[in-house]
Amino acid sequence: MCRSTQLLFNAKNPEKSNIPGDFLNEFMPEKFPSALAFQTSTREAGKNANDKSKRYWNDINQNLQFEAISKDRVKFFNDGGTQNISLVGRGDFNTDGLEDVLISSRDSVEGGSYFNFRLFALSVNEKGEWQLIEEFKH
């Protein structure tokens, strides 16, 4: 969490926000960039990142089940894999004047030893489209 603390400390106050109110919801996979997809293989992730047809999270992970844990934390899961998504903070992380969000994804496989923690800075453009600013891998 040191990286998230540094990002939040250095964030500027945004001049404007395009972030919708309750954005941590069951529709995230349809709107969020494909970088958030649950992928246990570096090779698979690289292949998907270069595939222009895989623009959104649900282009990679389909049939996800959803559970709201709290206002700032949700869970997505399917056969064997779980992603716990949490809102870490808000601010202008890339100094463009627009509000951005910092979210974490804790990925794990049921019955296995795989665990991955990822941190994402995301923003919403004028058209209402979610965009990845940066992914921070731990």
- Give the model confidence (pLDDT) of 71-121 as tens digits: 999 999 988 799 999 999 999 999 999 999 999 999 999 887 888 899 999
Q: How far is CA 123 from CA 93, 119, 133, in A?
A: 9, 14, 7
Parallel, antiparallel or unpaired: strands 73-78 and 115-124: unpaired
- Burial (CB < 10 A; 0-12, 13-18, 19+), residue 83, is buried
Q: What is the pLDDT of residues 26-46, one digit of tens each?
A: 999 999 999 999 988 889 888
Q: Kindly report which listed range (18-22, 43-47, 134-138) carries the lowest average pLDDT score.
A: 134-138
pTM above 0.85, yes or no: yes
Q: At residue 96, what are phi and psi to the nearest 5 degrees?
A: -100, 5
H helices of the chain, in order, are: 2-10, 28-31, 42-49
135: tokens are 């992914």
Tens digit of each residue's pLDDT (9 = 90 or more) over 50-59: 999 999 999 9
| pLDDT higher than threshold 80 for residue 138 | no
In eight-state DSSP terms, residue 88 is E
CA–CA gap between residue 80 and residue 111 (Å, rounded): 8
